[in-house]
Structures are given as C-alpha cells and as structure tokens.
Amino acid sequence: MTATSTTTYASRGMRHRRPRRSVVPILAPLVIWAGAAGVLALWWSDTTSVIGPAGWLTGAGRITGLLAGYACAVLLALMARMPLLDHTIGTDRLARWHAFGGRCTISLALAHTLLIIWGYSLSSHTQLVSQTSSLVLHYPDLLKGTVGFFLFLATGVLSARAARRRLSYETWHYLHFATYLAVFLTFGHQLSNGADFVGNRSAQAAWYALFLGVAALVAWFRFAVPVRRGLRHRLRVSAVHPEAPGVVSVHLTGEHLDELGGEPGQFLRWRFLTRGLWWTANPYSLSAPAHPRFLRITVKSAGGHSAALARLTPGTRVWAEGPYGGLTADRRTAAKVLLLAGGVGITPLRSLFETLPGDVTLVYRARHADSLALRGELDAIAARRRATVHYVVDDPTGHSSPLTAQGLTALVPDLATHDVYLCGPPGMTQAAIHALREVGVPARRIHHESFAF
C-alpha cells in the first residue's frame, strides 16, 4: 500500500525546443563493424590457401587473435570518456557495449590461444603441453603475451556479476587498470609473432596508428583533461547540508564554471582531495542547474565514499571530471514529459524539472515521507512553472510498492504520448520500464542512465 500526495498547478505551456538529433549512435557501431571487416580483410589478403586440419585450426587462431587485438582497441576507445560519444550515446549505454565487448574479447583471446596451440601441435606432431611450453618460452614476446592474457582473464572474472557484488566501486575501478598493462603486454606479441604483421610494414603501421591513437584519446580525456580542469576551475567545498536521512547536498564553488558546460541531467566524477577520498573519482549528478560560480550535488549514503561526503569540511579541494551522460533535454522527442524518480534518483531529474520546457509531470517515489529529498525545492519549481508533482510513499513497513501500468496511468492518464526520463535503483528502474512498455510508451522514448558497475 502506498500513500500518494499530489501538487498540481495549471500548466503554462512553456515553449518546447526541438531537440538536436545526433547520428553518432548509429555511426559508431557501423564504424566498429567496418573496422572488424578490415581486420578480416587483412587475414584474407595474407592467406593464399588453407590445407588440412592444422591449417584450418591455425587460420582460425589467426582470425580470433586479430579480432581480439582489434577489440582491445575498441574497448579502450569506448571508455576513453570522449564527450562526442558520451553525450550522444550515453555513459551507461557505452558501459553496456564495453561489458559485452569485454566478454567477446576474452572469448576471442581464449579461442586464439587454444586454436593456435592445437594447430601448431598438429603441424609439428607434438603433444599439447610440449607445444604450449615451446610457444611460451621460445617465441618472441610470447611470455609477456601470456601474462597479458591471464590479466585479461582475471579482469573478466572480476567483472562477472557475482564477483562485482562483493567489490566496492573503487576497488573494481582500479583493478580494471590492469587491462592497460594487459594490452601493452599483448601488443608486442602480436607484431612479433603474428603472421599477418611479420614483414608487412603497412599492416604494422596501421596497427601502430590504431593503438597509438586510442592511447592518445585515453591519455587526453582520462588524465590530461581532469588535471587541466582541476587547476583551471579550483573547485572547493563551500557547505554540506542534510536533505533527508542519509542524504546530503554538497555545495561547491569555483572559477570559470561556465566552461564546464554541464547540462541538466548530467553528472561528473568527483575527486575530493581529502584523506580517504583523494584516490578515487565517483559519479554524482548535478542536483541543480550549473551556475558560473556554484555547483551542487546531492548524495545518498550507500557506501564508504558516499557516506564520507557528509563529513566534508568547507575548503576541501575538489577535482571534477566531466560532465558526462546523455540524460539531457536533447533526448526529448515528444511535447509532454514524465520524470519518474526513485529515491536519490531525483537528483538529475530535479534539474530537468526546473529547465525542461513544455508540459512536464514529476512522479517521485520513496520509502518514507521523510526520505523525499529536495521536496521544498520541487514544490517551489512546480508552483513557478505550474506543473504537477506526485509524491508516492510506501507504508511504514518499508515494503516496496510495485510499479504497474495501472498505477502509472492513474497518475498520468495519457502516458503513452509522453517522453519518460527515469532514474532510480536498478529494481525500480526495471519494473518501471516493464510498466511503461505495457502502457505503450515506445522504447525510444524511455530515457534512463545507470551508474551500476
């Protein structure tokens, strides 16, 4: 059972801005697959014939090895935090592509290893163990490649869902830096032993260009830009205010903040330069539109890092990476919008509620009435723009109220004509998507992002 309160004002019909549509989400996969086709063309042009089981196994090993190497470059590019990709495709969608590509890469690397060993064993009429030892110990750079391969396997195991549940975000994030070392170790092996590269200067030059280009993107966007912005904007904590039990707003001040370009709905990765927090950058959404001199995030205590933010002292230096994310006004396609928030998921939607033009309705769900963070601000925004806010609160037993098609249409009768911006816990998000699809909201008009790792 839930208690529902509604604040309604006559809509003023703010002018709806036509969204900018990007072709990047369509072109990016095409470019990736075109690159994979080019890798296969490299093998095809360098292969005159395939004879017998040994030839077929070795050929398959070469193909999977080439594709695994190419996939490594793609994975690093997807996570380079390039604004062009991040703002148009969305951070969580890129992360899903990265996760899927990671599983494919490990599978290709494993297949390459097994196929090459088997094929070489048949060619030389040796046992598998003896052939493995010979390859690892006597072929150029293959010992380093073997170490890189096992690092890839370890990363894959740690990325499995069961393992991730036992790791903090910070630990998981830093363990992933081992993939940079793995790529470095395996890169030399490919050029030293790959039949498609030995003696082929054009192929070597293309491979160097691919990996050096990706390395430059990673170095610039993940390291140089954050350092440059940290020195440029000189962000500091100005105040920390409680908003609800376990929820605080961190107010920050700095210089030239208009240059950050943060849009409502986006987030940044925040590195607080104080004991216990300086070594990691965690993602938190802006909970108010960016100001040239001030920023604000609102955070719920859900782990060691987020809980420590309540104890920040004014004057603490901060480095911010971003802004990131595509949960912005540019995704909008319909005249009417529903903002559906769960818990601290209200933070990016609060900014959108203030700034999105047109007919906007907010539904804010929480376990208890005192868990409704920023309620005073939401009511003031609703009054100012004459919009509707529905507060849905679970009963005191704390049992979650399921999201259903009937429940949502009772609040928003013409829901099928809306764009929906969604942010909340994973369980709530999945239930909401199912209910929205049942109502008839097309998938292309359900916009959500997740920070789950």
Tokens of 263: 């849009």
Query: What CATH code is carried by the domain that includes residue 364?
Result: 3.40.50.80
pLDDT at site 453: 47
Tokens of 193: 């032993």
CA 190 to CA 306: how far, in whole Å?
Answer: 42
pLDDT confidence tier of residue 76, bands split at 50, 70 and 90: very high
Per-residue pLDDT at 74 exceeds 90: yes
Phi, psi of 214 (to 5 degrees): -65, -40
For the segment 440-449, the average pLDDT, to the nearest whole number, is 89
- Do both 117 and 208 map to the same domain? yes
In a domain, 367, yes or no: yes
User: What one-letter code names the amino acid at 325?
Assistant: G
User: What one-letter code names the amino acid at 29?
Assistant: P
- Do both 50 and 148 map to the same domain? yes
CA 220 to CA 312: how far, in whole Å?
Answer: 30
pLDDT tens per residue, range 257-276: 888 878 899 899 999 998 88
pLDDT at site 278: 84
CA 404 to CA 58: how far, in whole Å?
Answer: 54
For the segment 350-377, the average pLDDT, to the nearest whole number, is 90
| Boundary residue ending a domain (296, 324, 352) | 324
Task: Answer yes or no: are the C-beta atoms of 191 and 204 closer than 8 Å.
Answer: yes
In a domain, 453, yes or no: no
CA 127 to CA 120: how far, in whole Å?
Answer: 10
- Do both 117 and 40 map to the same domain? yes
Query: What CATH code is carried by the domain that includes residue 287?
Result: 2.40.30.10
Per-residue pLDDT at 124 exceeds 50: yes
- Do both 349 and 293 map to the same domain? no
Per-residue pLDDT at 362 exceeds 60: yes
Per-residue pLDDT at 309 exceeds 80: yes
- Do both 10 and 129 map to the same domain? no
In a domain, 363, yes or no: yes
- Do both 67 and 182 map to the same domain? yes
- Do both 67 and 12 map to the same domain? no
- Do both 245 and 190 map to the same domain? no
pLDDT at site 169: 66
pLDDT at site 2: 47
pLDDT at site 1: 37
Per-residue pLDDT at 239 exceeds 90: yes
Tokens of 397: 């037993």
In a domain, 189, yes or no: yes
For the segment 105-128, the average pLDDT, to the nearest whole number, is 90
- Do both 256 and 345 map to the same domain? no
pLDDT at site 452: 54
pLDDT at site 14: 46
In a domain, 51, yes or no: yes
- Do both 358 and 307 map to the same domain? no
* Domain assignment of residue 36, given as a range: 24-229
User: What one-letter code names the amino acid at 441?
Assistant: V
Q: Count of domains in the chain? A: 3
Return the minimum-mean-pLDDT range out of 94-98, 166-170, 188-192, 213-217.
166-170
- Do both 190 and 238 map to the same domain? no
C-alpha to C-alpha distances, 362 to 246, 340, 428, nearest whole angstrom = 23, 6, 16
In a domain, 373, yes or no: yes
Angle at 238 (CA atoms; ends 235, 240), nearest 5 degrees: 120
CA 356 to CA 385: how far, in whole Å?
Answer: 10
Task: Return the higher-pLDDT residue of 179 and 212.
Answer: 212
| Boundary residue ending a domain (324, 349, 380) | 324
Which range has the top average pLDDT, 10-19, 117-126, 163-172, 299-308? Answer: 117-126
- Do both 125 and 209 map to the same domain? yes
pLDDT tens per residue, range 150-203: 888 888 777 776 666 676 666 776 777 788 888 888 888 888 877 788 888 898
| Boundary residue ending a domain (229, 264, 285) | 229
pLDDT at site 10: 44
Task: Answer yes or no: are the C-beta atoms of 254 and 234 closer than 8 Å.
Answer: yes
In a domain, 305, yes or no: yes
